[in-house]
């Protein structure tokens, strides 16, 4: 089937996957916490001395939120929550929705009301909105780079502490897919899990195939059949030697870490012979200059930590129209 990510269309096969992060109650709650922290950082329970000294309590103003560079918008739904958090005598008029592509100079929304409140929220608003727009914009570049290959671009848990839901929401706004939200959200057997198992003084040494079987049995024993069916079992491999036996053990996803494109193509060929239903995910050092080559190997998924840990905030500004009350 085909799926459109804010104007970018990709072709994909339906697989079991993680739920995308949407703007739901949990995302809004995470946003409120960030706004509270942001305003505490700026006001610290005290006064904005500059604004209070120079701006009358009755002064009014308005400001347009302007994108100084082209990009993808994310975080528009967070602004009403900021106005509730202060609380601010300010009105917000959004001109675009999350996921919109805007050019330099585009007004994404307008604020109007108390000049004091506008000045106090300015930096926090631009910080959060710029960060989320930057993630969405970088994600869009990766999604466009792999368009037509069938590969999907995923985020990781390499997120800013406290920002995870919002950053993953921004990835979705850019057309990317969300990997697991937390450790509770699925099974991902990594090299360190296997390394610790192999260092045991007593007990069985776990190889990748055994680890998949053990994880599946544990999930089935502790969850209802319906709940167990929703848990993805993924395992990381850093060489191809155990791939065939690992595929036969029945994971949902095999993560191929830091492999060359030649190795990835070999892995795809083995997977297609042994277990076509298992998804292959490439990760490790993925960049905009390499992601297309990786996608063309035939892997299903490409996880990119850079979407969140290396995104540069989109340059946004408040352009003011100030009027003193009479």
Residue 108 CA: distances (Å) to CA of 10, 28, 70, 111, 248: 27, 20, 11, 11, 51
Spatial contact of 27 and 281, defined as CB atoms under 8 Å apart:
no
Annotated catalytic residue within 123, 200, 273, 324 = 123
Q: Which residues contact 198 (CB under 8 A, 6 or more apart)?
A: 205, 206
CA distance 65 to 254: 43
Asked if omega into 87 is within 30° of 0 (cis), the reply is yes
The yes-or-no answer on residue 48 being catalytic is: no
| DSSP state letter for 305 | T
CA distance 154 to 307: 9
For tokens 């975080």, name the residue: 75
Annotated catalytic residue within 91, 190, 230, 273 = 190
Annotated catalytic residue within 236, 252, 281, 300 = 236
Annotated catalytic residue within 32, 68, 141, 158 = 158
| Backbone phi and psi for residue 266, each to the nearest 5 degrees, phi listed first | -65, -45
- CA-CA-CA-CA torsion sign (160, 166, 168, 173): negative
- Angle 34-37-40 (CA atoms, 0-180°, nearest 5)? 150
The yes-or-no answer on residue 122 being catalytic is: no
The yes-or-no answer on residue 190 being catalytic is: yes
CA distance 3 to 17: 15
Annotated catalytic residue within 144, 257, 296, 315 = 257
Torsion of CA 158, 164, 166, 169, to 10 degrees: 60
* Tokens at 110, concatenated: 């307008």
CA distance 55 to 53: 6
For tokens 């995923």, name the residue: 154
User: Which positions are catalytic?
Assistant: 123, 158, 190, 236, 257
């Amino acid at each position: 089937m085909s799926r459109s990510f804010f104007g970018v269309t990709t072709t994909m096969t339906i697989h079991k996957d993680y739920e995308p992060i949407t703007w739901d109650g949990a995302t809004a709650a995470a946003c409120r916490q960030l706004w509270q922290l942001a305003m505490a950082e700026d006001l610290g329970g005290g006064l904005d001395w500059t604004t209070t000294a120079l701006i009358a309590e009755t002064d009014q103003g308005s400001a347009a939120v302007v994108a100084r560079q082209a990009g993808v918008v994310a975080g528009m739904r967070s602004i009403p929550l900021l106005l509730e958090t202060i609380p601010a005598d300010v009105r917000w008029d959004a001109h675009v929705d999350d996921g919109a592509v805007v050019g330099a100079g585009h007004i994404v929304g307008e604020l109007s009301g108390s000049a004091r409140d506008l000045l106090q929220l300015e930096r926090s608003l631009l910080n959060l909105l710029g960060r989320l727009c930057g993630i969405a914009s970088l994600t869009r570049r990766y999604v466009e780079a792999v368009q037509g290959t069938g590969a999907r671009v995923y985020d990781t848990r390499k997120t800013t502490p406290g920002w995870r839901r919002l950053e993953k929401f921004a990835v979705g706004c850019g057309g990317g897919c969300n990997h697991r939200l937390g450790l509770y959200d699925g099974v991902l057997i990594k090299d360190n899990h296997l390394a610790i198992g192999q260092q045991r003084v007593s007990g069985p040494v776990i190889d990748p195939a055994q680890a998949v079987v053990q994880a599946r049995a544990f999930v089935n024993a502790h969850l209802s059949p319906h709940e167990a069916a929703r848990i993805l079992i993924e395992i990381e491999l850093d060489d191809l030697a155990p791939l065939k036996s690992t595929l036969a053990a029945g994971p949902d996803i095999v993560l191929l870490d830091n492999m060359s494109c030649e190795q990835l193509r070999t892995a795809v060929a083995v997977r297609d012979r042994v277990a076509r239903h298992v998804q292959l995910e490439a990760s490790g050092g993925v960049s905009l200059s390499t992601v297309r080559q990786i996608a063309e190997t035939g892997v299903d998924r490409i996880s990119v930590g850079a979407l969140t840990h290396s995104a540069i905030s989109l340059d946004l500004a408040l352009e003011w129209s100030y009027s003193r009350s009479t």
